[in-house]
Structure 1
Amino acid sequence: MGATTIGALVGGAIDSMSGDDSAADGAIIGAVTANVLKVAVPVALTYAVGWLVLRGISEGVEQVFGGGEGA
């Protein structure tokens, strides 16, 4: 709830700087953006950490078993 409120306040403030209309539409866009980021950022970070772990495992296996060269 806090991120949604902050997103609405920031969106409303940014939208009201133009002076064309009320800040309501900017507040709605800011709140929606905050909610999307609450889901997207953890998913992206989890993917990145998982990819790095898998890459590290494959490098470790390659070093231990010699990369399949020679017999």
Structure 2
Amino acid sequence: MSATTIGGLIGAAIDGMSGDDDSSVDGAIKGAVIANVLKVVLPVAVTYAIGWAVLRGIGELKDKVVGE
């Protein structure tokens, strides 16, 4: 199953649990949209975090080898 389908199913289940209306379609649409956004944002955020950690580690290593 793709992330969009799983996001839609989770969104529909959450919307169905609230009991506000009879249809869970709007929750499924919101879940699918959120899943597609996360497919783009999450890898970018993880890549940025790893890059920042590597650069910080290189700076610390340089300070230990060369001195401040």
| TM-score > 0.5 by shorter chain | yes
Deviation sequence 1:15-40 (CA, Å, 0-9, x none) = 01122221000000000000011111
Tell me the distance in 1 between the aligned counterparts of 2:30 and 2:6. 12
Between the aligned partners of 1:35 and 1:26, the Cα distance in structure 2 is: 14
Could you list the structure 1 runs, at least 4 aligned residues long, displaced by more than 6 angstroms after superposition: none
**TM-score, normalised by the number of residues in structure 1:** 0.89
- Greater relative CO, 1 or 2 (CA 8 Å, sep 6+): 2
Give the residue type in structure 2 aligned to 1:26: G
Matches within 5 A, 1:60-71: 60-67=61-68
d(CA) in 1 for partners of 2:53, 2:33 = 30
TM-score by length of 2: 0.92
Give aligned-pair identity as a percent.
Answer: 69
Partner amino acid for 2:28?
A: A
Structure index of larger Rg: 1
Unmatched tracts of structure 1, length 5 or more = none
- The total of aligned residue pairs comes to 67
Instruction: List aligned pairs for 1:24-63, cutoff 5 A.
Output: 24-63=25-64
Structure 2 alignment gaps of length 5 or more: none
RMSD between superposed Cα atoms in Å: 1.0
Partner of 1:20, secondary structure, is coil
